[in-house]
Every structure is written in C-alpha cells, then in structure tokens.
Homo-oligomer: A and B are copies of this chain.
Amino acid sequence: MANPSPMVPERLQKFIDRFARFPAVGPRLATRLAFYLAHLDAPALAEVVDAVSGLATLDRCPRCSFPKARTADRCAVCTDAARDRGTIALVERETDLISIERTRQFRGTYFLVGELPERGTLTPELRARLDGLKKLIDTELGGRATELVVAVGLNALGDLFASVVAQELKGRAEKITRIGRGIPTGGEIEFADEETLGSALKRRS
C-alpha cells in the first residue's frame, strides 16, 4: 500500500497520506480505515468528523500538561481538592497517567515530562519541563514537594532520567522515589496490568 495508485480517488488518497503519518498507523491501516470510512453513511461519517474536530476544544492543563477542556482552568486531577498536591508523579505519556489512575492507588497529582530523549541527555525541551516543575514546587509548595515519584519505565533511559531528576530536584523534595520493581525490568508503564502497577505504586521506595 506504499505508493498512491491512480485507481484511488484523490480525497481517499489524501486521507491515506494523512493518517499513514500517525503513530502506530502506517499506510496499510490508513488504507483500510479510508475504505471503511468511505462506506459509512453520511450521518455516521459526520459523527467521526465531529469526534475529530471536537479535539480542537482541548488544550493542556497549565499545571501538569494533561489535556483538558479549553473552558476549564485545570485538568480533573489538578482541580480535585482531595488530591495530595505535594506528591507529584512524573510520567512520560498521558496513557501512563491513565494507567496509574486506573489502579486507584495514587492520590497525588501528576507532571507530564513527555517522551524521554533517546540518548538520556537533558535536551532543551526536557530542561524546560523540569524548570516548569521547579517553578510549580516553588510557587505552589513553598519550594519543597513531599514526594516526587519518578513513574517512568524501569529501563536504562528511565534510570538515567531518574538520576537527572535526583540531581536537578534534590533540594526541592523531601524524597524522590520510583515505583516499585513489581513491573518487570525493561517494561513500560503503559502495558502493565492494574494489579501489578497498583502493587508497584504501594511499594514505591
């Protein structure tokens, strides 16, 4: 499915080209989706268009960077008065945050650091994110968090990132922890089952 075919109507090809660039999609799935959607009736296709265009009503939470409705000041977790603001879990991806929420074992808040750099070095983007976290701690927690939970993958990149966090933020947190080794080493947060992830959160150290 790699090259455009003269058989394929232009608007169908345009869809394929655009969707093939999405993460984990590629040309074959994009082609399959294109034909599936092309055969939906008008109201069903309108529903899909609405589902996509509805994402324009979102932006990022100014505190943790998780998506929120543009009309809300903060995301649901950062708004929730019952959450422990002094305890902040650093996560790579939004899907990691959702996995942790689902365990119901964590009552702190989050901070999205984004994908860890390939080489583990402190890129300008990551430095900016950590500077944002420092600022959050300084303005909201009087310069000292209760706990920073480095909730990233238990692999070499995650280890490197944890040591960067330890170095950069050691004066700004009573303790800096990682989630417990209940997760198989080398594994990703996103793919852990709820029980394993929940117990790893309880035994954080």
- Using a CB–CB cutoff of 8 Å, the interface residues on chain A facing chain B are 1, 3, 5-12, 14-15, 18-19, 22-25, 29, 31-40, 42, 45-49, 51-58, 60, 66-69, 72, 75-77, 93-95, 97-98, 101-102
Contacts and interface: CB of A to CB of B under 8 A. Distances in A.
B47 A18 contact: yes
A24 B30 CA distance: 10
A101 B5 contact: yes
Contact of A37 (B11, B36, B55, B57): B55
B77 A7 contact: yes
23 contacts: A5-B101, A6-B76, A7-B77, A7-B98, A7-B101, A8-B67, A9-B67, A9-B72, A11-B54, A12-B55, A12-B58, A14-B51, A15-B55, A19-B48, A22-B33, A22-B37, A25-B29, A38-B58, A38-B67, A42-B56, A45-B53, A45-B56, A46-B56
